[in-house]
Structure 1
Amino acid sequence: MQKVSKLKTLLAVVTILLPLLCVSSQITLAKADTNNILVIHQYSSENQCQNLFDQGLRERLVQDEKHVYKFSFEYLEMDRYPEDDNYVIHTANYFRHKKEHSNWIPDVIVTSGGVSDWLLPYKEELFGDIPIVATAPSYNRSSSDQIDSFTEHYLLAGQDNFSKNYSLILDILPDTKKIYVVVGNSAEEKSLLDLARAEADQFRDKADIVFTNQMSYAEMISTMKTAESDSVILFSRWLKDIEGNSFVPAEVLSAITDGAEVPVFGTQHQYLGLGIIGGYLYDISLLGKDAAILVMQVLNRSRTSDFSNLDRYNRYIFDNRALVNWDIDLELLPKSGTIEFVEDDF
């Protein structure tokens, strides 16, 4: 009988508290404004760099107590239709149709790197007065007339740091005689190539640094598979080869790490887990978080922050599995570095 009495008391308490909890939740939701966020990316949805940007954007916005966010994502897929003016026109028509017929109106538009280059001529017609938070192309380290004309709310993205990766490789693998820098032949990659070459000058007396931009995909893969035993591969990206063929960088990297018999490093965080040891990696999820801060500031009509410290987006990060596989001495890693994929000991 005592157990029955306790159960009745518990049910009575639950009956009283449950409606109160529901009311409390409804009040909380009522206090938060709902805002629609349209995110536009330059490349196709398989691009892991963009997915990391979205991850950082969402993680930061979910912490906002003043607003509830609903997202819609669009992908220009310029990696699949490079240098096709007709495709750009059809894409603009697609956005024009959605604007005229959709009942979902964005409160803020977020564009990742490169989108402003393609949509600037159509900006007023397609988006009107809707505020835009944009990131400049990753190879631009200063503002340009184009991004300034596209929006007043923009961030300058970070980029690959080749100098620190050359230095890292030679510090932890001092017997290295050659570094293959994997970079393709697209317009974006050509800008990166200039940077990679300039930063290689101070290391020429320590190792031969070879760039793959003039190779076809097949030639590049063959070169990586037959790389000398005292060489190392540094993967930046491979969007387009010398023959004009387009590729998904993560898929290219997986093909390299599957076949190469020498260590592979990378320059971007999304490559971690695909076989690279690690490196001084550009983490675009941090850029996504900064974009989220800018979105909140725009919605709150508060003063926007200055995100001019581009080095904040790069960190030393390593894959423990690759470190073990290549027998890397952990004492040689930078003290500020972090190691991921560490298995727990039981």
Structure 2
Amino acid sequence: MKMSKLKIEHNLKYLVATILFVVISILSISCSDAKKHKDSYNILLIHSYKEGPVWQDELTQGVKQYFDENNVDVNISVHYMNTDFVLNRENIRRMNNLMTSYEQNPPDLIITFNNQATYSLLSSSHYIAYNVPIVFSGTSHYINHLIAKHSNITGFIAKPDFNKVYKLAKTLLKDSTLMLNVIVDGTPAGLSLLDTFKKQMNPENHSDKMLYYNIYEENIHDIMYWNKYYSKDVFVIMPKWNSFYSNLAHESSAPFFLVNNQGFGDGSLGGYMVPTNKQAQLTAQTALEVLKGRSIKSIPIKDMEQVPVFDWREIKKWDLNIKDLPKNTLIAHMPFYEKYKIPLQTGGGIVFVFILVAITQLILLYKEESRQKKDTLHKLLKQGKELELSLKSIPEGVISLDLANCVLTINKAAMQFLKLKGDATSYIGANLFTLLDIHLPGNTLTFTDLSRHFLIL
């Protein structure tokens, strides 16, 4: 009985230990999953237009780059709405369908770029549009009546300044006869921007003639006719991107100016706008703050600073003087040499001066060395002549030799003693023993033989 009780207690302890192990394992896995979820995010990025425009791709890449640089693991799904020539209610319907497709796996955050994507999302009746944090970017005007319905939204406004762009265009083109054309589409954003243009410019206060084209109302043939025959005498300000008329910038005889970055890099000259890299950075930075836990309600909607931005390729095409651009102008697609012309020229000048100074110093050193060699040679020649005169004046015979026993100098007395004939210079370089080959009295050996004998000894 006692053994049975002990066995039961042992089994009970084993069971408790097993249960604790399983519970701890489950908690560990749950914590691991929670941590993984916390450090990895799903983002839905929605563009207003179809895939392809350069400036739109730059926004996408800028957002991805920001997260990469901050070592944040994100999975960004990019959706292109292609809102051109689509009725507003159809865009809202498409947005509802898009939200429905994410019901099983809602994103952690939604980013919208530009007017129509933002307008359609905020107009959507889907619950995701009211529960998932939204960061919009690049809208041209406040849509307060829609924002007021949401507590899950923040973002950035890029208000167009038509007056600034107009004045800058007139300064650059230097042709008072050019007429301003404004081309818009019939989307809510397009019509709103046209209204903004009229309020800012107040055409009644301008002597320049201004024409407006609504491509939803104009015949396509008329637009193409304008592009072919009338665009030579006008300049265009684009309030927003449109896949049709924005492409006219490539082919038109009229320069196209911008009040935002929509269309930049696709044939337009430039204007006042938010640089795409700056817009992408601000948007991604705010998105990351929200993902890291900051309350989106505490982040106010802000205006983005617009600066003059121009395309170097279009500046050259229209033969404009960059000195007429504002000092804070950003110029895209400028060649390396043009961009750093002044530093390169300054650096090149410094290098040239350095090389010139170095060459001058080398020439001076060469001349100094040549002078020293000349002086040394002159001294040696002088000493040689003095030695020659001394040897001639000495009554004793004197022969100077080098290490190989070859004659360097020989005076007249030595030549007489050795019974040598001719001029002393003819014996210079001769071996001493060839000069001493004479017989000594009372000895069958010559002086040379004796000298060699003693030298060997």
1:78 shift after superposition: 3.5
Q: How many angstroms does 1:194 deviate by? A: 0.7
Offset, 1:128: 7.1
Provide the TM-score with structure 1 as the length reference: 0.72
* Residue 289 of structure 1, CA deviation: 2.3
Verify: 1:266 aligned to 2:258, yes or no.
Answer: yes
Q: How many Å apart are 1:37 and its aligned residue?
A: 1.3
Selected match of 2:103 from 92, 99, 124: 99
Report the equivalent of 2:200: 199
Task: State TM-score, norm by structure 2.
Answer: 0.57
Counterpart amino acid of residue 118 in structure 1: S
Q: How does 1:147-296 map to 2 (within 5 A)?
A: 147-177=147-177, 178-201=179-202, 204-213=205-214, 214-227=217-230, 229-237=232-240, 239=242, 248=243, 251-258=244-251, 260-296=252-288
- Answer 1 or 2: higher relative contact order, Cα 8 Å, separation at least 6: 1
Does the 8 Å contact 1:37/1:108 carry over to 2?
Answer: yes
Higher helix share: 2
Listed as ranges, the gaps of 5+ residues in structure 1 are 1-28, 240-247
Q: 2:130 touches 2:152 (CA, 8 Å); kept in 1?
A: no
Measure the CA separation in 1 of the matches of 2:181 and 2:126: 41
- In the alignment, the residues of structure 2 paired with residue 166 and residue 300 of structure 1 have an alpha-carbon distance, to the nearest angstrom, of 42
Structure 2 residue 36 is matched with structure 1 residue 45: no
1:297 maps onto 2:289 in alignment: yes
Whether contact under 8 Å (2:307, 2:329) holds in the other structure is yes
Identity of aligned residues (%): 19
| Contact in 2 for aligned 1:175/1:230 (Cα 8 Å) | no
- Superposed counterparts of 1:73-88, under 5 Å: 73-79=78-84, 81-85=86-90, 88=92
Q: CA RMSD in A?
A: 3.3
Bigger mean CA deviation after superposition, 330-339 or 275-284: 275-284
CA contact (8 A) 1:182 1:236 kept: yes
Distance 1:134 1:31, change over 3 A: closer
Residues 227-275 of structure 1: CA distance to partner in whole angstroms, max 9, x if unpaired?
Answer: 3655322233364xxxxxxxx1xx53333431x2233323333423332
Q: Structure 1 residue aligned with 2:61, among 44, 55, 58? A: 55
Larger radius of gyration between Structure 1 and Structure 2: 2
CA distance in 1, matches of 2:92, 2:269: 38
CA distance in 2, matches of 1:171, 1:308: 34
Aligned with 2:139: secondary structure? coil
CA 1:308–1:107 in structure 2 vs 1: closer, same or farther (change >3 Å)? closer
Q: Which residue of structure 2 lines up, in the alignment, with residue 69 of structure 1?
A: 74
Give the match for residue 344 of structure 1.
336
Structure 2 spans left out of the alignment, 5+ residues: 1-34, 338-343, 345-457
Q: 1:162 to 1:218 in 2, by over 3 A?
A: farther
- Within 2, Cα distance between the matches of 1:94 and 1:185? 24
CA distance in 2 between partners of 1:53 and 1:257 (Å): 21
- Tell me the number of residue pairs that the alignment of Structure 1 and Structure 2 aligns: 298
